[in-house]
Structure 1
Amino acid sequence: MLKVALGLWLVHRGLSHISDDDFARTVIAERFAHAPRLDPSGTSWLPFPFWLTGGAMMAFGRTLAVARAVALALSGVGAVLVYAALRLARVDRLTSLGGVALAMATPWNAWLGAATVPEGFTGAFVAAAAIAASARARASIGLVLLCASLSRYEVWPACAVITVATLARTRPRLSRPALVALLPTVGPIAWMAWNLHAHGSATHFLDRVTAYRHAVGAAGAPLTEKLLVYPRALLGAPEILLIGAVGLMAFVFTPEMRKRWWLPLTVALAILLFLVYGETKEGAPTHHPERALVVIWWILAPFGIDGARELVARLTLRPAYGAANAICVAVAALGWNVTQPGAWDLFLESQMGEASRAVQIARGQELRASGATHLVVTPCAYEHFALIAAYGAPEAVELRPPEHQPILRECPKVER
């Protein structure tokens, strides 16, 4: 309820999108609802978010409101999964609540949880699976990872680490737990098999990302700059790094912390190294590198709060008092985060002026209400996705090549 309420508050404040990709994804989901296909995007984007949002649109209508509702609901489910995983790993209730509250309210996690992009829920899904897998192997962990692996590529190293760690504990090798442990690998293998079948290359998706980065001028940076992109992006949540350092102190000195957190921390490190390597090969996400780091923040926040509780409890020999103090640490970190100047206004400000899509959304909704059955759209850049998403019938839109002009109120040009 808290996570959904936070998302609704951000939408009320004016958060409409992270980038035009939000609206492009909504358009693809609308196409899927009209004519389902195994690979809804036909691009490098993974299919699960389109299956889910498109399925909801089949039932409730092809609108931006449905896409937003699915995003908010999934982000709420993700928060619950992280809490449940912490309890399964024997983290006490107060500490679990504090860790989840801090993670969900970190600005990037909050923004992504209220936007129609898959990062918001996949980060929580993977963190939950990693935390729960450190306690025991369950089919539900495999299913959660399977959904996440068909949503974002940075999930793939997490699947590999969790699968290897689970198989190492599983005896005999061909037992049911071993088969369950292999479930997270189904998504990556199936996607590569599909790319081999549909495009003639198992890594076609990677080639497409690399080609796009070169086309938009996002490639060719010096190696030293590439190596620093994602470590620098981690500073987008300084309060999480601070509380994570507290957790690291407890990790060094307490066996309970090491037993509980070695696997989630290994997953976080694997994801970071995977992204750094991908950046050096021009295969990492093109925009907003912070989006790919949400798994790490979902892990470090409860890790740090749990570490603070452990340290205080050992000093005071009163676990309940330690948990209460850990919650105070979380509240203090969250309070600093929320009150720092501009923390919550970053994307609200970035969506003003040329970046605003309010005009295009309003025009699309007007065209939908007018009953227009065919549109010819000439974009200026990428602003047309907002209009088409609001219109709700992309199959009735004929797209012409973009004019590559500054985005004005009249963009895109629309003819009936």
Structure 2
Amino acid sequence: MSHISDDDFARTVIAERFAHAPRLDPSGTSWLPFPFWITGGAMMAFGRSLAVARAVALALGGVGAVLAYAALRVARVDRLTALGGIALAMATPWNAWLGAATVPEGFTGAFVAAAAIAASAWPRARASIGVVLLCASLARYEVWPACLVVTVASLARTRPLVSRASLVALVPVAGPLAWMAWNLHAHGSATHFLDRVTAYRHAVGAAGAPLAEKLLVYPHALLGAPEILLVAAVGLMAFVFTPEMRRRWWLPLTVALAVLIFLVYGETKEGAPTHHPERALVVIWWILAPFGLDGARELVARLTLRPAYGAVNAICVAVAALGWNVTQPGAWDLFRDSQMGEASRAVQVARGQELRAAGAPHLVVTPCAYEHFALIAAYGAPESVDIRPPEHQPILRACPKVER
């Protein structure tokens, strides 16, 4: 898999800087720190390179899938349904791409789904659930409402309310509170990160849309995974008529709804992600995919067709995750576009690797736009690069200009 945008390479550059000179807030921007801590830490051990960054992304994606599967089994979802739900979530184009790119959305979606499912079925595992959500909350902002919902649900079941168990239940919200405290200390405002996002959206012309349009951005983006919505509709029918489904899924579905409301509200306040709204919806898709298949299992069981469920499950996953996305026009266009034309960064990556192999001790880089991040990430030593102001020219194969 390739990058999604130049942000992917910018994140790798920040991780490389962290590996060279660790700091609490590696980016110094609105980006949350956990991905840089974990990727930069791996680079300290294995070297600073794009290969290490991609390996960490794949490893975290794998860990997330394992956690989600384990949570489903704890929730007493049968093995076939759990495997099918994970396969459906992973095979959806956006999830497949994000799970392999050097961005945090892929693993955070799986982490949150795992925590929400486990919290509804195994409330005694507060500590483990809290750690998983703590890590995710320091990677992506849309995780924050999930942390709040799980914390409130945990506290509601804690007796007495003031106890050690209550302190453990508060672990998921420790990340958001710590990040706001840091912003207050470092920038003079607890919501400095939100101000930066809003300012950036205004600067690039991504702000100022009519309210009605803002309200529909994320509901419309949910259609980026129509196969999951189709399967989730089956799950919803089972949820209405089956007490077991309601017991197992009320908390994960509340988390999914809270995330959607949070994103819609953020969009109305110009504080939501600027590009690719689908990326912020991965949490919801990771919840809805196994929910839908679990609902299909319940309905099949009630129709006394349990022996045929294996075939039904396999057909649902194959048709939804493969057939729909292969035949639907434009399903993979975004991925293909990243391999061609201006969006491709293969030339910059190759130049950076050549400079690294040649042992160039210092570079002066003049970008056309943002394409230089790929070169610097491949070079692997951003502290040895001076970046001049961009020329704001069309991105050609000669961009960026590099002087040794």
Q: What range is the shorter-chain TM-score in?
A: over 0.9
Write out per-residue CA displacement over residues 83-117 of structure 1, whole angstroms, 9 at most, x where no aligned residue. 00000111111110000100011110000011000
Would you say the 8 A contact 2:145–2:255 is kept in 1?
Answer: yes
For residues 164 and 348 of structure 1, do their structure 2 counterparts lie closer, same or farther at Cα, with a shift above 3 Å needed? same
Write out per-residue CA displacement over residues 244-281 of structure 1, whole angstroms, 9 at most, x where no aligned residue. 10000000000000000000000000000000000000
Give distance in 1, aligned partners of 2:320 and 2:344. Answer: 34
Give distance in 1, aligned partners of 2:173 and 2:274. Answer: 25
Write out per-residue CA displacement over residues 105-148 of structure 1, whole angstroms, 9 at most, x where no aligned residue. 11100000110000010000001000000015431100000000
TM-fit CA distance, 1:167: 0.5
Would you say the 8 A contact 1:129–1:144 is kept in 2?
Answer: yes
TM-score by length of 2: 0.96
TM-fit CA distance, 1:325: 4.3
TM-fit CA distance, 1:331: 5.1
Give distance in 2, aligned partners of 1:352 and 1:60. Answer: 31
Give distance in 2, aligned partners of 1:399 and 1:321. Answer: 58
TM-fit CA distance, 1:324: 5.5
Would you say the 8 A contact 1:305–1:326 is kept in 2?
Answer: no
Query: For 1:134, what is the secondary structure of its paired residue?
Result: helix
Q: Where does the alignment leave 5 or more consecutive residues of structure 1 unmatched?
A: 1-14
**Percent of pairs identical after alignment?**
90
Would you say the 8 A contact 1:306–1:326 is kept in 2?
Answer: no
Write out per-residue CA displacement over residues 276-328 of structure 1, whole angstroms, 9 at most, x where no aligned residue. 00000000000000000000000000000000000010111647847854764
TM-fit CA distance, 1:402: 0.3
Would you say the 8 A contact 2:84–2:313 is kept in 1?
Answer: no
Would you say the 8 A contact 1:48–1:150 is kept in 2?
Answer: yes
For residues 333 and 115 of structure 1, do their structure 2 counterparts lie closer, same or farther at Cα, with a shift above 3 Å needed? closer
Q: Where does the alignment leave 5 or more consecutive residues of structure 2 unmatched?
A: none
For residues 171 and 122 of structure 1, do their structure 2 counterparts lie closer, same or farther at Cα, with a shift above 3 Å needed? same
TM-fit CA distance, 1:178: 1.7
Structure 1 window deviating more from structure 2 (46-55 vs 317-326): it is 317-326
TM-fit CA distance, 1:16: 1.8
Give distance in 1, aligned partners of 2:110 and 2:220. Answer: 21
Structure 1 window deviating more from structure 2 (143-152 vs 338-347): it is 338-347
Write out per-residue CA displacement over residues 64-95 of structure 1, whole angstroms, 9 at most, x where no aligned residue. 00000000000011000100000011111111
Query: For 2:257, what is the secondary structure of its paired residue?
Result: helix
Would you say the 8 A contact 2:368–2:391 is kept in 1?
Answer: yes
The one of 164, 172, 181 aligned to 1:193: 181
Would you say the 8 A contact 1:313–1:322 is kept in 2?
Answer: no
Write out per-residue CA displacement over residues 233-254 of structure 1, whole angstroms, 9 at most, x where no aligned residue. 0000000000010000000000
TM-fit CA distance, 1:28: 0.2
For residues 203 and 351 of structure 1, do their structure 2 counterparts lie closer, same or farther at Cα, with a shift above 3 Å needed? same
Query: For 1:376, what is the secondary structure of its paired residue?
Result: strand
Would you say the 8 A contact 2:227–2:320 is kept in 1?
Answer: no
Query: For 1:159, what is the secondary structure of its paired residue?
Result: helix
For residues 105 and 317 of structure 1, do their structure 2 counterparts lie closer, same or farther at Cα, with a shift above 3 Å needed? closer
Would you say the 8 A contact 1:44–1:206 is kept in 2?
Answer: yes
TM-fit CA distance, 1:333: 4.8
Would you say the 8 A contact 1:239–1:334 is kept in 2?
Answer: no
Write out per-residue CA displacement over residues 165-190 of structure 1, whole angstroms, 9 at most, x where no aligned residue. 11001111133322221100110010
Would you say the 8 A contact 2:240–2:246 is kept in 1?
Answer: yes
Q: 2:215 corresponds to which residue?
A: 227
Q: 1:52 corresponds to which residue?
A: 38
Give distance in 2, aligned partners of 1:97 and 1:338. Answer: 22
Query: For 1:301, what is the secondary structure of its paired residue?
Result: helix
Write out per-residue CA displacement over residues 324-381 of structure 1, whole angstroms, 9 at most, x where no aligned residue. 5476456555433345455345312333111110110010001101111111100000
Give distance in 2, aligned partners of 1:254 and 1:220. Answer: 44
Would you say the 8 A contact 2:11–2:103 is kept in 1?
Answer: yes
TM-score by length of 1: 0.94
Aligned: 1:353 with 2:346: no
Would you say the 8 A contact 2:81–2:313 is kept in 1?
Answer: no
Query: For 2:167, what is the secondary structure of its paired residue?
Result: helix
Query: For 2:391, what is the secondary structure of its paired residue?
Result: coil
Query: For 1:335, what is the secondary structure of its paired residue?
Result: helix
Give distance in 2, aligned partners of 1:183 and 1:319. Answer: 43
Give distance in 2, aligned partners of 1:356 and 1:329. Answer: 31
Query: For 2:365, what is the secondary structure of its paired residue?
Result: strand
Q: 2:238 corresponds to which residue?
A: 250
Give distance in 2, aligned partners of 1:232 and 1:173. Answer: 40
RMSD: 1.5
